[in-house]
Amino acid sequence: MDIFNNKWFRAVLPALLIHCSIGTVYCWSLFKADIAVFIGKSVGEVEWAFSLAIFVLGISAAFGGKLVEKDIHKSSLLSALFFVAGMVGTGFFIYEKSLFGIYFSYGIVMGIGLGIGYLTPVKTLMLWFQEQKGLATGLAVAGFGLAKVIASPLMEKLLGARTDEGLLVNPTNIYMMFYILAGIYFVMMVIGHLALKKPAGYEKESAQTEGFRYIKVLTNKTFIGIWLMFYINITAGLALIAQEKGMLAFISFGAIGLVSSLTAVFNAGGRIVFSAWGDRVKDRNSIYKIIYASSIAIILLAVGMDAMNHSISILVIAVLCIVNAGYGGGFSSLPPLLSDRFGLDSISTVHGLTLSAWAFAGLTGNQLSAFVLEKTGSFDAVLYVVMAMFSIGALISIFVVKPEQVQLDSKKTKHEEEVTAS
């Protein structure tokens, strides 16, 4: 057997190289304050670069699905070029102290690379792992989640020593870091681009993909239900994850960094465990029911025992870990679920359309918990709102997302052909 023509070298390795590169977008919190200090702007103003990157990620994925469907080599190369150009541009505009330049380079240019790169390996993985689609996508998307764990120590090293006030001893390190990382990620993503390949017999676009109709997807009840489930899971997850540090500080828990690493591991682990679990159940939608039920149960236990006000650390940490696991699992379980409902032929396009939910959730998740906290001053209120959202998601999963497969092309279904013949 050719060791360079198998599912591990042609699908898993390139997926990890691409996703471990673009997943570093979640390292934003490590250096946003340093950017703000260097360019003389507030952290709040700089923060919009990250929100814009996530928004553009979702929108570019929604519109880039057709490109990925047609040519994974073109899409993987474009992803590398846009992502790396965005990083180089961010370093340049930090040097120039241009806030709008950072918005453009980090938010828009890099955001396009993120969206196309996130989509590109997914269908190829599922083609190589026909019987274990969940495990395959879980491995790739876990790379996106683990990127923060892998890249954080490197970024801290590149940023260098800090003063007692937390400022960089050498402020120029902030833009030099982006130049160095751009070089590293360019090599990783180009290797992924060169290695990525579909199994024999799947190189050409299928007739069903040619007949794909957007309107049939966007108006389909099952698609709308899955889109809402995905949106709710991300928004509720982000609403809680954004308050992680504040919640731990409120209960006077000191090892915040340790818990942050622990929740990152649960986030990445959930991406593998939940999606692989989906390979073993009759209906992959059951995974979303499990995610919602576990999140609701742990939050109910925490508020029932008044964990925040009684500083019950183990319960607060359990809430953060389980919600993080479900947050990650929602991402990795999405492509196989869409494949089961809409088929593999147009999965990149359908997956891209669904990722538009990520764009809007990125703009609303953090703001939701911040708004509730500002109005109530209570972390319990945040927990109740998050639990209510998970409950709505569970109801959608139960009553809206039906198990039957939907035909997306212009061909008639067997039932339609029988009616026409009669």
Q: Give per-residue pLDDT as tens, 377-413.
A: 999 999 999 999 999 999 999 999 988 887 765 444 4
Q: Which fold has domain 1-198?
A: Growth Hormone; Chain: A; (1.20.1250)
pLDDT in tens, 48-69: 899 899 999 999 999 998 889 8
The two tokens of residue 143 are 């790379």
Instruction: Name the more confident of 172 and 66.
Output: 172
Tell me what percent of the residues of the chain surpass a pLDDT of 70: 93
Q: Which CATH class is domain 206-422?
A: mainly alpha
- Please answer whether residues 88 and 182 qualify as being in contact, where contact means their C-beta atoms are separated by less than 8 angstroms: yes
* Mean predicted confidence (pLDDT) in 364-368: 86
pLDDT score at 419: 35
Instruction: Give the confidence band of 256 by pLDDT, cuts at 50, 70, 90.
Output: confident
Range with top average pLDDT, 117-121, 205-209, 212-216: 117-121
pLDDT score at 204: 55
- Please answer whether residues 317 and 324 qualify as being in contact, where contact means their C-beta atoms are separated by less than 8 angstroms: no
CA distance 370 to 382: 9
Cα 12 → chain centroid: 17
* Mean predicted confidence (pLDDT) in 286-314: 96
- Please answer whether residues 250 and 369 qualify as being in contact, where contact means their C-beta atoms are separated by less than 8 angstroms: no
pTM above 0.95, yes or no: no
Which residue intervals of the chain bear CATH 1.20.1250.20?
1-198, 206-422
* Mean predicted confidence (pLDDT) in 275-282: 94
Q: Does 227 score more than 60 pLDDT? A: yes
- Please answer whether residues 259 and 320 qualify as being in contact, where contact means their C-beta atoms are separated by less than 8 angstroms: yes
Q: 98: burial class by Cβ within 10 Å (0-12, 13-18, 19+)?
A: middle
Number of C-beta neighbours around residue 391 at 10 A: 17
